[in-house]
Structure formats: C-alpha cells, structure tokens
Structure 1
Amino acid sequence: MNDQSGLDSYGDLIADARGIRTVMVVDDSRAHRHLIALHLREWGYDVLQAASGAEALALCRDHPVDLILSDWMMPGMSGIDLCRAFRAMARETYGYFILLTSKTDRGAVAEGLDVGADDFLAKPVHAIELRARIKAGDRLVKLQDRLQFKNARLHDALRKLQSMYDTLDGDLIEARKLQQSLVRERFRDFGRAQVSVLLRPCGHIGGDMVGFFPVTGDVLGLFAFDVSGHGVASAMMTARLAGLLSVASKEQNIALFCAADGYHARAPVDVATRMNNLILSEMRTENYATLAYGVADLRNGQVAMVQAGHPHPIVQRASGAIEWLGDGGLPVGLIAGAEYDGFQIDLLPGDRLLFVSDGVTECTNAQGEELGQDGLATLLDRLRDQRGQALLDTLVWDVARWSGRDEFADDISATLLEYSG
C-alpha cells in the first residue's frame, strides 16, 4: 500500500467514527421508559431498557452502550451511583451519560459532574430537547472516537519508530566498537619516548581520530584529525582517512614511501597536501577535516609538523612552560590546491608534545565561556606531574568538572608524545 492510500484509509476511518447508536433508558417507571424509548426508536437508535441501576450494569457488560439516559432518583442504586459505576467499567469507547432529574440546585449538578455525568435533562422530558441533547452527545462521542483513532495511529507510529530506533541504536553501538578498533594501541613505550592516545566520541560514533605508527626503530608518525559535522557520514569519512594513515599496512599509508632500503616518512606538508587532494578527488563529500601531523625522530628529539586547521599543537617543557605551535592553516578537503606550511620543534628530555581536538578548547561551561588556550594551559600546568594515559584521563575529568557536565557537546581526542631522550 502506498502512503496516499494509507492516508485515504485513515480518512475513511475517521469519517466512520461510531458516534451514538445504542441508547439505554434506565428508570424505575415503566411508562416513562417506554415513552422515551418510543422517541429514540423513531430517531433510528437501538434501545435497551433497564428498571434499575443493577440491571443497567448487567446489560452494559453484555452490550456496547453508547449513551445512558438514567433517572436520578431510583430505589436501590441511584442515578449518581450508576454513573459512578459506569465510569469505573473498562470500555474501548467513550460512553455518554445524561441524568434525568427534577433537581435544579447547584450542589446536585456539581455532584453529578463530579462522578462523571456529561449532561442533565429536566423531567418531564420534552422530545425536542431530548433529541438536541443526544445530538450534542453524538458530536462529543464522535470526537472521542476520532481522538481514539488518532491516538491508536500515533501509538502505532511511535511503536514503529521505537523499533527503528532500537535497530539503529544497536547498529551504532556496533559501529562505535568498529571505530574504536581503528585505534589499535592506546599506549606504547618506544624507549626514548612514550606515546598515549585518547578518543572519546560525544555520541555513539564520532568524527575524531588519533594514532601513531613507527616508521623505523627511532622514527614515528603522530596524527590527530577531526572530520567536520557529526553522525554516520562523518564517522565513515573518519574511517576512510584512518586508512590513509594505516598502522597495519605501510603500503597503504600515504605518510610513507618505499625506497630500496625500506620505508621512509614523507614530509608532513606533503602528507597534508596528499590528503587534501584525495578527499577532493576521490571522496567528493561536503565534509572536510582538520589535521595535526608530525614525524618525530627520537634520536635527537626533532619533530617536523604540519597544522591544517587543527587546534595548535602544544609543547609543555620539563619546566612546565607551555608553547603553542603552528599558524593554523587550511583544513584538508576544503579548497583545491591549498598550500600548507611546515614547522619544526626540538624536544628535550622531560618535554612533551600534545595534539588535542577542538572539543577540548571549545568546551563551554554553564556561562557559555569556552575553555580556550588559557584554560587548557592552566589545566596542563596543574597536571605537569601526571604521565601517559593517567594524564589524558585526568585532563578529561578536569574539563568535565570545569564545564559542569559529564557529557560533552563535541568529540574529545588527543595524541601525547612524552620525550625522555
């Protein structure tokens, strides 16, 4: 069935709202019951009669009654008691209730409304007024039917949406596991240096990626990138870019080239340029990425780097002093022919190099203030004695405490190189 036919069927269902078809007259006066029943049959209603409240309730259990016309004053169960019991019955549709009474004081009317009566009709009953009251009740019952149909439709739609959400949520959980598996190592000790990484998506999956890979025994590559946007598209592009800096397969790693004596590291500027060209020529997506990439020579502490729109790399000296590196640069995958500038830093024993995502520096507190470079520098100064994964975990905890919340609005990631020399 196509969508339009479904809408038409739903429209027909609403148009056929049941309304009032079966009316029960409850009165201990047989003559009065028959007189009202006579009018009701003339107007096309199915009529049931009961001489008492107890008899009326018994009939209600076996017959679908749409409206009850009940005398107020009856021996045994009064009209008020009947109304209260009728409202307590489980029903699939709404039942309209009119009390027939000679009472006119406000207290009596309030009591009737309180137990669930919909309307009142003075005795003796006049046919014209009776018919008008029933038509008014018919409009209300039809409205109730329509609301019930709409609620049922809405409930069905919500049930389907919940099922779809549960399926999607399960898929995203599995996607998160796959994305996390792209970070093969969270820590490695290279002797002269130790490398630690942190990856914390703000949702099931994220657009950040961090990592490192050995080029030779004393040379290694470090990277951190952040794909624009959020969601599945960003995560898929993240996985693709992670493949370009593959740890497991050197022949697929665009940061390496093969010579007669083995693999060597490309200049960081060349890596940014190649990644920019690949995104624009092969991926053809609206997303782009920021990148921080470096090649560290552990023999002398020299690190050649490129910054392509990523937050400034940070060097924290052994003394605790903070240095911000790079001039910003253009993201990769944004502009064809973009040019990138490289730079170099010399690390001394006890120094450390940190790449962080903008999820850290742009994290806001309750007042809407960003942590920024100054705030991050303050946190790093406080954590100068922390090392490795403990430093990164404590940094996340401190950022969360500063922001006042445990969940972040953006992915948080970091790559940390600690140089011992």
Structure 2
Amino acid sequence: MYHRHPDISASRRPPEARARHRALVVSGSAAQRRLLAVVLRQMDLDVVTLSCAGEALHYCMTEEGCTVRLILSDWQMPIMDGPDFCKAFRGLVRDDYTYFILMTCETDRRVKAQGLQAGADDFVTRPINIGELRARISTAKRILDMQEALQHRNYEVKTALEDLQALHDALDRDLAEARRLQRAFIPARHLSNPGYALSLRLVTSGQVGGDLVGHFPISDTEVGLYSIDVAGHGVASALLTGRLAGLFSGKAWRGNIAFRSDGRGVHPPEKVMHRLNDFMLQEMTSDIYFTAVLAYVDIVTGAVRLCQAGHPHPLIRRGEGTIERVGHGGPPVGLLPGTTFERVTFDLEPGDSLLTYSDGLTECTDTWGDMLEEEGLMALLARIPPDTEAAVEELEAALRTHSGIVDFADDISMLLFRYDGLPEAATA
C-alpha cells in the first residue's frame, strides 16, 4: 500500500530566520535611550526604547515584544528595578532565548550576584564606555546567532527523526501485512485424513521470514510434503517463499512444479529439485538460494520417496519411540548449475511419524549460547504425544524453554506427518 508523505504543517516549520535581532532599551533617561539606540542601530540591531520596567514588561507580552532578543536595562528604576524586571521577564513563556544586560554603577560583586540570580546574562558599568558596550553587545549577538543556528539544527534533527519514524511506522505496517500474506501461503496448519494426519508450525524471528512448510495432494493415495528454508530471513527471503509457495500449490496442479505438464502424476522428487535449481539460476537475478526437503508418501503402503537438498536430516519417530534420521544431505538449491540431487526411499509403519524442519530448531541457543543440536531434537521427538497438533505445540514450547529469555535468532518451521495406514476396506 502506498502511504503519502505528510505535508509539513505550520508546527513543523523551522524557526523564522531574522536578518536583524530586535533589541529593547529600558532606561529612565531619555538622553541615554537616544545614545544607546544610536549605538545599537550602528551594530545592525532593530531598536525599541521604553522608559520604565512595567511598560517594558507589558511590551514583551505583545506579539511584537515576543521577537525581542536583546534587552539592555537600567538597574535603578522606580517601582520595579532592573533585577525584578529581569526575574519577571524570565517568568514569561517564550520560544526564543533573550540575552539580558543590566546597566549599573554597582561594583560590589555580591550586588551583581543578585542580578545573575535574577536571570541577567551580563553587566555594563555606568558611566557607560561605548567601546565596552560594543564588545558586550557583540558577544550577545554571537550567542544569539549560535542559539538561532542551534534551533535550526534542532529543527532539522527533529523533522528528520519524525520522517524516519513515519517511514518506520509505514514499514511496520507493510511488514505486518506481509506477515499476514506470508501466513496465507501456508496451507491448513492441521490436516487429518484417512490414513494420516499432519501439522505445520512456522515461527518467524522477525516480521517476515524465509521458511516455508506445506503439503499438497498428489492423488487419492499419495500426498506431497515440503519443507524449505531460504537463506536469510528478511524481506527478500519472504518474497521468494511467496514465489515458491505458488510453485507447490495444492489447489491447481498446473501451477505446481512437481506435476508433469500432461497431468499424469508427478516428477520424482529429485527431478523437482533439479527443476527448481534451473528456475533459481535462470529466473532469479540475485544470489539467494534455499535448502529443502520434498517427500511423497503413499498412504496405502507407507512407502516414502524423499529428496534432501542441503536441509537438515528428516527424522522418523517409530511407533515404539525410537528415532531414525534419513537422507544424505545433498547440495542447496540455486547455487550451481548442473547440480544433481539424490532420492532416498524408506517405509513408514502405522503409528510412525516423520518430522521435517529448518535448522532454526537444531541451532536454537540457550542463554549460554549452547545449541539444541540434532541430538537434543531427537530427545524431544522421542517424548511427543501421538496427536500431531499437540506434538508440534510441545516441540515449540520445548524450544522456547530451551532458549529461555533469548529470542529465536532464526525462523522456526516444522512439519510433522503421522502415518496411520488405511483400513483394508479402504484399500480393497
């Protein structure tokens, strides 16, 4: 979904740059106000002069007064003196900082400390030395210029963070939608048919992942099972799982890469891996690859034809509880042209279960960094209940117990198939 970039509202506009700072001179002496106004205007300041602190404080509350950035005020004034004016001024809510200079004939440091406590930034000693005044005003202007520059930098950082947050939120929404779509790639999580039952489980380490498990009907007496782990577990991997899910569609055999084009059955599993390898090398421009297991199970005889392409070894749990590993490893799909894949065959007896899974299970680490490994998974598999749905629940719970407070570092996917066999009446 396309998310329109929001317009910059007035509240997000940067502070308005000012060509000239506005200065306020507060003095009971008209002659001093005129002299100071001349000096400040020569220093490229916009000057306003007022005769008393009360009038000045009221002015600072107006819209025009809010733009004052420099105040030069007498210390000794009737009713409200300079420090009281400064303290009252600092109590006003203002967006910008205003530099405050007190003019005084006081030389006692303790007296000047009162002015600093009131909020003054600097002092000018009376009678005023114009050279000293210019130096202190120049210092004030540098500080105000730096403060204005900092405001603009802060604005840039703030708006950049807001834009990044908006992009992050949009990406989160898109990833959440992608996660829902990826879940839709997976067929029914639990299936119970005459002769067999199976359950699937997929836990992604992020919003989307690169694992895929599923099944598809081949005929009334045969079912296909697949387990895929695309390298990585980000967006690119998730996109490929979507494409592969379409290639193993259980709803339309014409789009399923396992079926022959004439509709007369399926290619052997090793031939399907060869076709997938060609597909990856010819149609994919990236260096991405995947590991996989593809198995065909005859639900009448229990015979299994399986091809393992770099994926972890499938495990068989026999009815009496013993565990066997099957397969010869084999190369991954999509790495090299001309790769050959091998088929293995074995038989399942009623009550036996077949587990295909990604390496996220065996490489699941605990808080010490120790992996579960194949031996640990075998021990877990030996204790699972007969019901496949309850069994995958227990396997996932055991993995979470093993990882403790550590999140899964990789996607977790598994397919558990239990062979029950068909009654004689059904096979007659």
Residue 275 of structure 1, CA deviation? 0.7
* Alpha-carbon distance in structure 2 between the residues aligned to 1:29 and 1:270: 102
* 1:350 and 2:345 are equivalent in the alignment: no
Report the secondary structure of 1:98's partner residue.
strand
Residue 309 of structure 1, CA deviation? 1.5
Residue 294 of structure 1, CA deviation? 0.9
2:184 aligns with one of 178, 181, 184: 181
* 1:286 and 2:287 are equivalent in the alignment: yes
Residue 342 of structure 1, CA deviation? 2.1
CA 293–68 in structure 1, closer or farther in 2 if over 3 Å, else same: same
CA 380–43 in structure 1, closer or farther in 2 if over 3 Å, else same: same
Residue 338 of structure 1, CA deviation? 1.2
CA 325–126 in structure 1, closer or farther in 2 if over 3 Å, else same: farther
Residue 109 of structure 1, CA deviation? 5.6
Equivalent residue runs for 1:231-270 within 5 Å? 231-257=234-260, 263-270=264-271
CA RMSD of aligned residues (A): 2.7
* 1:149 and 2:152 are equivalent in the alignment: yes
Contact (CA 8 Å) 1:19, 1:141: kept in 2 or not? no
CA 65–193 in structure 1, closer or farther in 2 if over 3 Å, else same: same
What number of residue pairs does the alignment pair up?
Answer: 405
CA 39–373 in structure 1, closer or farther in 2 if over 3 Å, else same: same
Contact (CA 8 Å) 1:18, 1:142: kept in 2 or not? no
What code does the residue aligned with 1:18 have?
A: R
Aligned to 1:411: 411
2:217 aligns with one of 214, 219, 226: 214
CA 362–52 in structure 1, closer or farther in 2 if over 3 Å, else same: farther
Aligned to 1:126: 129
* Alpha-carbon distance in structure 2 between the residues aligned to 1:391 and 1:108: 83
1:159-198: CA deviation from partner (whole Å, max 9, x where unpaired): 3333333333333332222221111311111222101111
CA 179–43 in structure 1, closer or farther in 2 if over 3 Å, else same: closer
Contact (CA 8 Å) 2:233, 2:411: kept in 1 or not? no
1:171 aligns with one of 149, 170, 174: 174
| Bigger Cα displacement from structure 2, 111-120 vs 145-154 | 111-120
Contact (CA 8 Å) 2:384, 2:394: kept in 1 or not? no
1:18-45: CA deviation from partner (whole Å, max 9, x where unpaired): 3762211224455544443342234342
Report the secondary structure of 2:61's partner residue.
helix
* Alpha-carbon distance in structure 2 between the residues aligned to 1:303 and 1:115: 89
Could you list the runs of 4 or more consecutive aligned residues of structure 1 that deviate by over 6 angstroms after TM superposition? none
What code does the residue aligned with 1:93 have?
A: D
* Alpha-carbon distance in structure 1 between the residues aligned to 2:399 and 2:147: 53
* Alpha-carbon distance in structure 2 between the residues aligned to 1:372 and 1:110: 72
* Alpha-carbon distance in structure 2 between the residues aligned to 1:353 and 1:273: 24
Aligned to 1:50: 50
Aligned to 2:399: 399
What code does the residue aligned with 2:291 have?
A: T
CA 77–218 in structure 1, closer or farther in 2 if over 3 Å, else same: farther
Equivalent residue runs for 1:192-207 within 5 Å? 192-207=195-210
Residue 87 of structure 1, CA deviation? 3.1
What code does the residue aligned with 1:409 have?
A: A
* Alpha-carbon distance in structure 2 between the residues aligned to 1:193 and 1:242: 22
1:118-166: CA deviation from partner (whole Å, max 9, x where unpaired): 3333333321111111111111111111121222233333333333333
Contact (CA 8 Å) 2:226, 2:295: kept in 1 or not? yes
1:339-387: CA deviation from partner (whole Å, max 9, x where unpaired): 2222223222322111111222223333333232233234334x42263
* Alpha-carbon distance in structure 2 between the residues aligned to 1:403 and 1:113: 59
* Alpha-carbon distance in structure 2 between the residues aligned to 1:325 and 1:127: 96
* Alpha-carbon distance in structure 1 between the residues aligned to 2:113 and 2:256: 82
* Alpha-carbon distance in structure 1 between the residues aligned to 2:235 and 2:390: 30
What code does the residue aligned with 2:272 have?
A: V
Contact (CA 8 Å) 1:20, 1:66: kept in 2 or not? no
* Alpha-carbon distance in structure 2 between the residues aligned to 1:400 and 1:278: 36
Aligned to 2:4: none
| Bigger Cα displacement from structure 2, 341-350 vs 329-338 | 341-350
* Alpha-carbon distance in structure 2 between the residues aligned to 1:319 and 1:38: 104
* Alpha-carbon distance in structure 2 between the residues aligned to 1:374 and 1:249: 39
Contact (CA 8 Å) 2:205, 2:233: kept in 1 or not? no
| Bigger Cα displacement from structure 2, 62-71 vs 32-41 | 32-41
* Alpha-carbon distance in structure 1 between the residues aligned to 2:241 and 2:183: 11
What code does the residue aligned with 1:392 have?
A: V
What code does the residue aligned with 1:119 have?
A: D
* 1:86 and 2:89 are equivalent in the alignment: yes
Q: Percent identity?
A: 43
CA 280–39 in structure 1, closer or farther in 2 if over 3 Å, else same: same
* Alpha-carbon distance in structure 1 between the residues aligned to 2:318 and 2:78: 97
Contact (CA 8 Å) 1:27, 1:70: kept in 2 or not? yes
Contact (CA 8 Å) 1:17, 1:146: kept in 2 or not? no
* Alpha-carbon distance in structure 2 between the residues aligned to 1:281 and 1:204: 29
* Alpha-carbon distance in structure 2 between the residues aligned to 1:104 and 1:319: 100
1:95-125: CA deviation from partner (whole Å, max 9, x where unpaired): 2122334556666666555554333333333
Report the secondary structure of 1:235's partner residue.
helix
What code does the residue aligned with 1:190 have?
A: N
* Alpha-carbon distance in structure 2 between the residues aligned to 1:78 and 1:312: 88
Residue 241 of structure 1, CA deviation? 1.3
| Bigger Cα displacement from structure 2, 119-128 vs 192-201 | 119-128
CA 139–292 in structure 1, closer or farther in 2 if over 3 Å, else same: same
Aligned to 2:321: 320
Contact (CA 8 Å) 2:297, 2:303: kept in 1 or not? yes
1:99 aligns with one of 89, 95, 102: 102
* Alpha-carbon distance in structure 1 between the residues aligned to 2:414 and 2:117: 65
* Alpha-carbon distance in structure 2 between the residues aligned to 1:38 and 1:275: 86
* Alpha-carbon distance in structure 1 between the residues aligned to 2:218 and 2:110: 92
Instruction: Give TM-score scaled by structure 1 length.
Output: 0.86
* Alpha-carbon distance in structure 2 between the residues aligned to 1:226 and 1:319: 30
Report the secondary structure of 1:350's partner residue.
coil
Residue 258 of structure 1, CA deviation? 6.0
Q: Unaligned stretches of 5+ in structure 2?
A: 1-13, 422-428
* Alpha-carbon distance in structure 2 between the residues aligned to 1:396 and 1:104: 79
